[in-house]
Amino acid sequence: MHRFEEFTTRFVQSIGKKEGPVSPVITQSASFGYGDPETAEGIFDGSIKQPLYARMGNPTSAQLEQILADMDGGAGAIATSSGMAATTLATMSLLKLDDEVISIGGLFGGTYSFFSETLSRFGVTTFFFDVEEYASIEAAITEQTKIIFLESVGNPNMRLPDIHAIAEIADRHGIVLIVDNTITPLSLSPLKMGADIVVYSTTKIISGNSSVLGGAAVFRAIKEGDDKFKTVRYKEVHKFIDKMGKMALIANARKRAMRDFGMSASAFSSYLTMLGLETLPLRMNRIIESIEKVAAALDAKGLHINHPSLPSHPQYLRYKELFAQGCGTLLTIDMQTQEEAYAFLRKTKLATITANIGDSRTLALHMASTIYSDFDDPTREFLGITPGLIRISIGLENPDDIIDDFLQASGR
């Protein structure tokens, strides 16, 4: 059965036009003429909806933003120059000196460094927890806690958080929950599970073919009546709520982050991202079917496979209950030693050795010697990075070919 039927129609119909150019129009201009001073004033105060300057957005990216907001049931989205830019935008638009972040599960190395090394230089402290440490998470919440951040699937530790349970904690304490849903777009809708902001690296499965770097943040609407953003904890956002109402989070992020840090998506990048997005439901469906087959076959031959579809995985039951649509394109193989991992990578004929994930092709990378090479042993241990760990991103190839190739590469 095809899992993502609802999106197949929606994406192709909203990306292609029925009149004029069918393919999305690339508006390649840094600036936009306003015509007269009154229009200029209106564009700058937000009363006239016309492009201002490409750092604040452009019409091609606006089309992508609308589609991604609809995909996740958000009030709006902002396309960014990369996935890290989306995380930077979502967090830096809310944080100030002395704030605290709680980060749960995962984490992708770049995100870990951003929290532990970069934000700490600006006086923001991050506390890291594993996905099941609910009591410690609650105990770590203070008046300074601004953000709870998690990855919907830990990259590469493959831990699956219970997003509902963590959203309930975040809500009870009036704290914003940001979910990095890069690994599982379509399979999960974090905003519907209680998250407030979702971030994506669209470089991965959304564009899906290594052609373009990009990211996006999707924001929920500010609610009428009570809303955590209306509390004193988020007082910097209040002026945007007064002016923009339910769209306040998008306005806040566009000004506080996009305008001031300039992590804008280019029109050409947004164009390429939309071309990929058109086929995302088909590719996700194919890979989710393949990955369970590949994981089971390699596990049966005695390889150390980490994927939640295997009964040995600590969150196997959660996978069955909450991840009925799969958990994306990743699995890991632990070859036990760096030498064995390198031998596997030398012998595979099918996998491309690269740092990306979510490609049409199967990709592989030894973790400890690359993305996590800068990290000390305790950090690697916390993030599940063992000496022989290879991260695999399953592609669109025939799963039997992947299995055959990996078995020969591992000497099985």
Read off the tokens for 95: 């944080």
The helix/strand/coil state of 181 is coil
Cis peptide before 156 (omega within 30 of 0): yes
Q: What are phi and psi of 37, to 5 degrees?
A: -65, -30
**Could you tell me the smallest distance in angstroms from the CB atom of residue 365 to ligand PLP?**
11
**Could you tell me the smallest distance in angstroms from the CB atom of residue 59 to ligand PLP?**
22
Percentage helix, strand, coil, to 5, in the chain?
45, 15, 40
Of 213 and 333, the one with the shorter C-beta distance to ligand PLP is 213
Cβ atoms of residues 203 and 80 within 8 Å: no
Q: What are phi and psi of 222, to 5 degrees?
A: -70, 135
The helix/strand/coil state of 101 is strand
Helix (H) or strand (E) holding 79, with range, is strand 76-80
Read off the tokens for 232: 């004193």
Of 182 and 410, the one with the shorter C-beta distance to ligand PLP is 182
Residue 371 carries which side chain, given as an amino acid letter? I
**Could you tell me the smallest distance in angstroms from the CB atom of residue 355 to ligand PLP?**
7
Cβ atoms of residues 406 and 348 within 8 Å: yes
| Chain centroid, CA 169 distance in Å | 21
Of 240 and 372, the one with the shorter C-beta distance to ligand PLP is 372
Of 181 and 410, the one with the shorter C-beta distance to ligand PLP is 181
**Could you tell me the smallest distance in angstroms from the CB atom of residue 83 to ligand PLP?**
2
Which chain residues interact with ligand PLP by CB under 6 A?
Answer: 82-84, 108, 110-111, 151, 155, 180, 182-183, 201, 203, 213, 215, 357
**Could you tell me the smallest distance in angstroms from the CB atom of residue 75 to ligand PLP?**
22
**Could you tell me the smallest distance in angstroms from the CB atom of residue 153 to ligand PLP?**
8
* Partners of residue 197 on adjacent β-strands: 178, 219
Of 103 and 410, the one with the shorter C-beta distance to ligand PLP is 103
Of 31 and 118, the one with the shorter C-beta distance to ligand PLP is 118
Of 52 and 131, the one with the shorter C-beta distance to ligand PLP is 131
**Could you tell me the smallest distance in angstroms from the CB atom of residue 269 to ligand PLP?**
11
Neighbours of 378 (CB within 10 A): 8
